[in-house]
Amino acid sequence: MLADFRSQLISIIEQSLNDYNPKEKYPTVDLEIPTDKQHGDFSCNIALKLAKSFRKPPVELASVLCGVIQKRIKVNRLNNKISNVEVKKPGFINFFLAAEAHYSILYQVFQEGEHYGCSHFGQGRKIQIEFVSANPTGPLSVAHARQAAVGDALTNILNGIGFDVKKEFYVNDEGNQINILGQSIQYRALEILGEAIEFPQEGYQGEYIKDIAKEFIDDHRIRNVSQLKAHPFSIFARYGVDYLLAVIKQELKDFGVHFDIWSHQSKIATPQAIKDVLAFLGEKGFLYEKDGALWFKSTDFGDDKDRVVEKSDGSYTYFTPDIVYHKNKFGRGFEKVINIWGPDHHGYIPRLRAAVEALGKDREALEILIVQLATIYREGKPISMSTRRGQYISLQEVIEEVGVDAARFFFLMRHIDAHLDFDLELAKKQTPENPVYYIQYAHARICSVIEKAQEAHLEPQQSGLTLLKQEEEVDLIKKIGLFPATLMVCYKQLDPFALVSYLQEIATYFHKFYDQHRVVDTDDLNLSKERLALIDATRIAIANGLRLLGVSVPKRM
């Protein structure tokens, strides 16, 4: 509804400019929503932009335009929706919506219910988003956890505004790290059976490897070392991958993250597929030989240096199957492909972009989001992260300690490109300092009040509102109206953070209203019903927002 007014106003301003001087060519009209409510519901800077070319002081030009605009508003019969248009200091033209326009925000909320905020903006365009994609060599870390929270929430938001997003987990089930995994399990198995050998230095030292080794022995009914040695090496690796992938899937499930597609490197980057891709790049002249290796001219596409695709020993680098994988992604008809990576991969961006361009795709078709690390704090001290020393804290432990809601919310509490401090003690607290509880509490409180009202046979009034005029009421209504725009900000930034911030604000506005005004009041039934409408709409906006973030929406706490 707010969006409708906005576009209506923009077109009115455009018409007015044409009324003022039809011969002039004008820049696109911006209409922003001011942060300070004294500046109205919408604010236009067109006079400031045009002042120079019209050789008039901005305020003077704004006044003239303001007059033209007001005429236009009358001609277009919008004067019942717009209460005032005024010119302010440097040359802004500010628009104030009439109460009737505010009420129509609430009508829209009731009409759309759990779809409030959603739109068809994306027009069903297909997007693939790949995230987590952790190597199946250990349990998920908090870095993966943040990526999972971001990827999942972003997907919900993009789907909500009309895109068709598929979530994909790419399983790196081949390569060195998998060999090392197999080796580690084999060593631990030998150890269990009594053959003490020195554990390989690069091996995975976590306790979970011992568990896998034990299960391997049991599964294959192995009784002694010679029986174990009869098993070919590749079996250990495969066993480990299957085992750990099951662990990862369970951890993600516990975290409430579901993937649409699980793809495997071994199935996509087959030897033939790799050969085909290299042949394609070779024909285009993007490959050359040097020092016995085959190189990709990524510098042609802006990379710092060229990259090896086939090593001098004939094997491929990690990069090569990844080119195949990205060719595969686009081959499946996705208009846009989003990769969510940790900061350790950022140096990898230019070469992958280069590869995608070499494959003939647009630069914009590939979006790579780097989600910065989260540092977990306990009692004000950071918990250091080291997989090798087994000192790290896993996703599982975080969930067990603070719960899924707090974990997911906390991982989204900062812009994705900012480092995140995750305070376990704070996340655990069920007090107002904890932002998740603050928001959930607002929702539960509303539910409780509505229930109370029903006992007095009072229901929210969903049409013909006229009485909500108090400052706190109007502020809250406007905030509710900003929910759809907030989702658009998330889309533009490809970051769910704006929604997190919005929910904290709307909760604050609600609590402020609630503290000042009584909702259920049998002495004033009409006002009660309208206030019930206001808080019910608030409830819907909060619930929809929390749901998109993957955080539960409790009616009681």
Segment interacting with RNA (CB under 7 A) among 147-155, 168-176, 227-235, 243-251: 168-176
- Cα distance between residue 75 and residue 529, in whole Å: 35
Determine if 441 is a binding residue for RNA (CB under 7 A). Answer: yes
49 is an interface residue for RNA by CB under 7 A? yes
Residue type, 210: K
Least Å from the CB of residue 118 to RNA: 21
- The reply to whether 160 sits near RNA by the rule CB under 7 A is no
Minimum CB separation of residue 64 from RNA in Å reads: 17
Which of residues 81, 188, 336, 445 is near RNA by CB under 7 A?
A: 445
Query: Order of strands across the sheet with 374-378?
Result: 381-382, 374-378, 420-423
Rule CB under 7 A: choose which of 200, 232, 347, 382 binds RNA: 347
Q: Rule CB under 7 A: say whether 313 interacts with RNA.
A: yes
* Rounded CA separation 75/69 (Å): 10
Under rule CB under 7 A, residue 187 binds RNA: no
Could you say whether residue 403 binds RNA (CB under 7 A)?
no
Between residues 126 and 415, which has the closer beta carbon with respect to RNA?
A: 415
Is 37 a binding residue for RNA by CB under 7 A? The answer is no
- Of positions 311, 361, 478, 547, contacts RNA by CB under 7 A: 311
Nearest-angstrom CA–CA distance, 341 and 338? 10
C-beta of 79: minimal distance to RNA in Å? 21
Sequence-ordered strand ranges (E) for 56-209 = 82-88, 92-97, 126-130, 164-171
In whole angstroms, the minimum distance from the beta carbon of 391 to RNA comes to: 15
Verify binding: residue 91, RNA, rule CB under 7 A: yes
Tell me how far, at minimum, the Cβ of 434 lies from RNA, in Å.
8
Scanning the structure block, which residue is given the tokens 């309208």? 530
x/- mask, RNA, residues 407-426, rule CB under 7 A, reads -------xx-xxxxx-----
Among 25, 77, 89, 457, binds RNA (CB under 7 A): 89
- Return the number of the residue (258 or 288) whose C-beta is nearest RNA: 288
Give me the least distance between CB of 61 and RNA, in Å please.
11
Shortest Å, Cβ 49 to RNA: 5
Residue showing tokens 């938001």? 157
- Indicate the residue among 222 and 468 with the shorter CB distance to RNA: 468
51 binds RNA per the rule CB under 7 A: yes
Would you give the binding string for RNA spanning residues 209-248, x where CB under 7 A is met? Answer: ----------------------------------------
471 lines the binding site for RNA (CB under 7 A): no
Residues 536-555 that bind RNA (CB under 7 A): 555
Within positions 491 to 520, which residues make up the interface with RNA, using CB under 7 A? Answer: 492, 497-498, 501, 504, 508, 511-512, 514-520
Closest CA to 249 of 105, 136, 382: 136
| 427/410 Cα distance (integer angstroms) | 7
Restricting to residues 244-273, name those near RNA by CB under 7 A: none
For 67, counting Cβ atoms within 10 Å of its Cβ (0-12 exposed, 13-18 middle, 19+ buried), the class is middle
* DSSP H helices in 230-386: 233-254, 265-268, 271-283, 319-331, 349-358
Find the angle CA(420)-CA(422)-CA(428) to the nearest 5 degrees. 155
Residue 73's closest CA among 6, 1, 15, 7? 15
Q: Which of 290, 378, 388, 389 lies at the binding interface for RNA (CB under 7 A)?
A: 290
Q: Which two tokens stand for residue 530?
A: 């309208």
Question: Which residues partner with 421 through β-bridges?
Answer: 375
Q: Is 135 in the site for RNA (CB under 7 A)?
A: yes
* C-alpha distance across the termini of the chain, in Å: 33
Contact of 269 with 172, CB cutoff 8 Å: no
**Alpha-carbon distances, residue 535 vs 11, 475, 508, 518 (angstroms):** 33, 12, 13, 11
